[in-house]
Amino acid sequence: MVDDDRDLPDATPDRDYDTVSELPCGMFPADRPKVPSTLPPQGACDTHLHLVGGKNDFPLWAERKEDPAPGRGFEDWLDLLRTHMSTLELSRGVIVHSTLYGDDNSVTIEALKRLGQGYVGVGLVRDDANEDVLDRLAEARVRGIRLNEVFDGPLSWEGAKHLAHGLAERGMHLELLQPADRIAELSEQISELPCDVVIGHLGWPDIAAGADAPGFQAVRRLVAEGKAYAKLTGLYRLADAPYDAAAPFVDALAATPERCLWGSDWPHLMLNGASVPDAGVLLDRFFDHVTDAERRQAILVDAPADLYGF
């Protein structure tokens, strides 16, 4: 039986969790990103943010791959997030719960309480999550759950399929972080899910294989046929700056702007050898790819409003 209470916000900074480990620590983003060369339209949304805390703020998941960057607490991270958003002139945000905390969503729920109505969340659950867990998440403005097969989250594909009807009943969606070849393998099942589907980080393609590779083409078709949304995120995880190698993948997905979302992936957790990017540069790169005002409006404002209910 799932312990439903673990999904309730319960931030108590004086609580001392045993978080001593030999795991690597995350890195800090810049205190303030560069001001983008082009400002986004009013109501623009960063659909891929994470929030972490200090070691005494929230319980970390035993199966996590890294620890949060040391020396800053939850309040500090909230301030950094607000600076990130104000500098980029973004008024809406989506907090995607990090696998650092597993299926204890309290750090994300507390962040949503503190940040207010311009923010919603995407949570993590286990395969055995019950109706009460989904209800509590929905009541906390969590609009979806994430299946993360790249960084080994707590939910499996079979569990996600089992939960899909419950998500649809609550107006929630399923976000997928899976390699493109895996998405191709599951594409028929994905297209038949009763809930909305979001494919993260360009579908995690094999950049070296090119945008014509079968795996990425399966991602592109799901988006073009209206079976999924795609996040134009994570370029820095897939290619070196200035991210030119990712350009064909962004261009292919952005051809269906009503099904695309943009996000910074701030504060850039679990880099796995990638360099910490500047979020202002990432937004500039988006504007380099999407040059017309109509598609910018669709990707930055309209599609997020439709999916997340802003």
For the chain, the DSSP string reads ---GGGGS----TT-------SSPBP-PPPSSPPPPSSPPPTT-EEEEE-----TTTSPPPTT-S-BPPTT--HHHHHHHHHHHHHHHT--EEEEEPPGGGTT--HHHHHHHHHH-TTEEEEE---TT--HHHHHHHHHTTEEEEEEETTTT-S--HHHHHHHHHHHHHTT-EEEEE--HHHHHHHHHHHHT-SSEEEE-GGG---GGG-TTSHHHHHHHHHHHTTS-EEEE--HHHHS-TT-GGGHHHHHHHHTSGGGEEE---BT----TTPPPPPHHHHHHHHHHH--SHHHHHIIIIIHHHHHH--
pLDDT one-digit tens code per residue, 60-74: 999 998 888 888 999
Judged against a pLDDT cut of 90, whether residue 28 lies above it is answered with: no
Is residue 203 a contact partner of residue 180, using CB atoms and an 8 Å limit?
yes
> What domains can be seen in the chain, in order of their start residue?
40-308 (3.20.20.140)
Cβ atoms of 204 and 246 within 8 Å: the answer is no
- Statement: the pTM of the whole predicted model exceeds 0.85: yes
Dump pLDDT digits (tens) for 128-153. 999 999 999 999 999 999 999 999 99
Q: Are 227 and 195 in contact (CB under 8 A)?
A: no
Q: Are 280 and 88 in contact (CB under 8 A)?
A: yes
Q: Exposed e or buried b for every residue in 290-299, given b needs 16+ CB within 10 A?
A: beeeebbbbb
Other beta carbons within 10 Å of 86? 11
Query: What's the pLDDT band for 13 if we cut at 50, 70, 90?
Result: very low
pLDDT of 55 reads: 80
Mean confidence (pLDDT) of the chain: 93
Percentage above 90 pLDDT, the chain? 85
Mean pLDDT, range 164-185, rounded to an integer: 99
**Which tokens hold the place of 21?**
């480990």
Residue 94 in contact with residue 263, Cβ under 8 Å? yes
What backbone phi and psi angles, to 5 degrees, belong to 51?
-130, 135
Band the pLDDT of 20: cuts 50, 70, 90: low
Residues in the chain: 310
Residue 260, phi then psi, degrees to nearest 5 = -115, 150
Query: What average pLDDT does this structure show over 186-195?
Result: 99
| Residue 15 binned pLDDT confidence (cut-offs 50, 70, 90) | very low
Q: What is the mean pLDDT of residues 84-96?
A: 99
Contact 203, 215 (CB under 8 A): yes
pLDDT of 54 over the 60 cut = yes
The owner of tokens 């990638």 is 274
The confidence band for 6, taking pLDDT boundaries of 50, 70 and 90, is very low
For residue 21, what pLDDT band results from cuts at 50, 70 and 90?
Answer: low
Whether pLDDT at 31 is above 70: yes
Q: Output the pLDDT for position 10.
A: 43
Q: Please, is 239 exposed, middle or buried when counting C-beta atoms within 10 Å of its C-beta (0-12, 13-18, 19+)? A: middle
pLDDT at 33: 96
Query: What confidence tier does 94 reach under pLDDT thresholds 50, 70, 90?
Result: very high
**Within 10 Å of residue 116's Cβ, how many Cβ atoms?**
8
Question: How far, in Å, CA of 76 to CA of 56, rounded?
Answer: 13
Task: Give per-residue pLDDT as tens, 238-255.
Answer: 999 999 999 999 999 999
Tens of pLDDT, residue by residue over 116-128, are 999 999 999 999 9
